Structure 1
């Protein structure tokens, strides 16, 4: 039987792509409904000490065979949908659970600024904070620069309201968006994570070197902790340390892992 969504004059290649997209979105819905959600943990390393300062917990959705559904196939699509808010809820729930099971863990969780006004996301956050007094001080909420600038006033109010909970805020992918100096000064961000596009090949690229030097200086002027994303080589790491970056994150230091050696799964508590 012909698929009713297939128009007679449709491009067959486009039809195949659209059908694949629908299949991926169905898997995403099913994964959320079945709670097949986990985090992949990637270390963030101190440039001066070489030790782990905190981890980023990257949300992973699993299909019915237990394989990870590639995030690149759906995250951009769901950003403006309620499905994106549901994924943020699931990620936060996993992150709060990991913090409760690992008393010494400090963890960053990604969120969209759109989730600030989503009641279910706020319920998850408040519930997690009320269950453990130490969670707020160990939780880092990462908001991308592009996302934050869509609703800057809402984000600023949200951050101000949570200041007394001890939560740390990170501006993700800094340099890739359009943050004005006025907004940067008014936000409550404690950390700026410099976009990996400026990190790639920075030990050989004079343009990236100039930009990185300026971004690090900017972070210092605003008293914000600086993290370089997507560090993949020793040369990049050495250059970043030389310009005063505080921390580095990327495959050079470790890939995201769903079961790192220190991890305690749900239902158990760390000894």
Structure 2
């Protein structure tokens, strides 16, 4: 926030002059709505009004084969309507509330894996949750009770989040790989990636940000970006996934350039109760 302190020689800011941004009724209203949304999120977590919706990621070469499902957490308001993540996630990410959301998502994901052995699901997390005891203790407890659980779990971490905490995240990832857990670098290409850090992390999977995928079959700019991302992924041994795929033309172009898995509404929306037998049948048939 900036103030115009000395607009002219000898001028003084009147004592009653209030910063325009703070005085704006719109700013006050936005702040009130934000507080109300965060309160709804906290109540949803406390009252367990939550669920995971799963979207399949299919193999580009054969979309009948599902590589994994991504679980998106859905928090519900008192009328059982989904609270849009865009309305709270950016703020929650910087607070303990974000860690609590990660705990809830992990718990739901682990429960699904326990009920459906043999499938693979990806659960989103922030690098900040690595040092959050409720999250790490829950994961360790589940792995202790079901040692094979790790082979079905993929932890998905945003590029910006990963790059902020490499000293903590790199040993954490190395430790959990011994349990069979794989890691996805989400939003690949959307931020500033350090190549030495990318090598040190050793992500097994990289997911290209959806902003580069929409309409890629007719966007030369996006095509150049995705070709570069694909080359970089190959260089670092990462399996490449494209999200937000919505048309056959997009899917065809991505398959031709060597993207391994495709995820988006073309292949299915996020579903709370998906037919997980599709994963097993597709895998055994492939």
Is TM (by shorter chain) over 0.5? yes
| Higher alpha-carbon Rg | 2
2:70 counterpart of 1:56: yes
1:1-271 counterparts in 2 under 5 A? Answer: 10-50=23-63, 51-262=65-276
Cα offset, 1:37, TM superposition? 1.6
Residue 184 of structure 1: CA displacement? 0.8
- CA deviations on 1:161-212 (whole Å, 9 max, x unpaired) are 1121010000000001111111111112100001111112110011111111
Aligned mates of 1:24, 1:97 — CA distance in 2 = 27
The runs of 5 or more residues in structure 2 that have no matched partner are: 1-19, 278-286
Q: How far has the Cα of 1:125 moved from its partner? A: 0.7
CA deviation vs aligned residue, 1:126-146 (integer Å, no higher than 9, x gap): 111112122100100000000
CA distance in 2, matches of 1:206, 1:91: 37
Once residues 119 and 128 of structure 2 are traced to their aligned partners in structure 1, the CA distance between those partners, rounded to angstroms, is 27
Which consecutive residues of structure 1, in runs of 5 or more, have no partner in the other structure? 1-6, 264-271
Give me the whole-angstrom Cα distance separating, in 2, the residues matched to 1:10 and 1:122. Answer: 43
**Tell me, what secondary structure is at the counterpart of 1:109?**
strand
Which has the larger helix fraction? 2
Classify the secondary structure of the residue corresponding to 2:140.
Answer: helix
Give the Cα separation in 1 of the matches to 2:44 and 2:275.
25
Separation of aligned partners in 2, 1:21 and 1:215: 36
1:97 positional shift: 0.3
**CA deviations over 1:205-227 (Å, ceiling 9, x no partner):** 11111111111121112111100
User: Partners of 1:13 and 1:55 in 2: how far apart?
Assistant: 40
3-state secondary structure, aligned to 2:154? strand
Deviation at 1:65, TM superposition (A): 2.0
RMSD of Structure 2 on Structure 1 (CA)? 1.4
Q: Quick one: structure 1 residues 242 and 68, their matched pair in 2 at CA, closer, same or farther if it must change by over 3 Å? A: same
Which whole-Å CA distance do the structure 2 matches of 1:21 and 1:251 have between them? 29
Size of the aligned set, in residue pairs, is 256
Task: Give the distance between the partners of 1:73 and 1:126, measured in 2 at CA.
Answer: 31
Deviation at residue 91 of structure 1 after TM alignment: 0.3
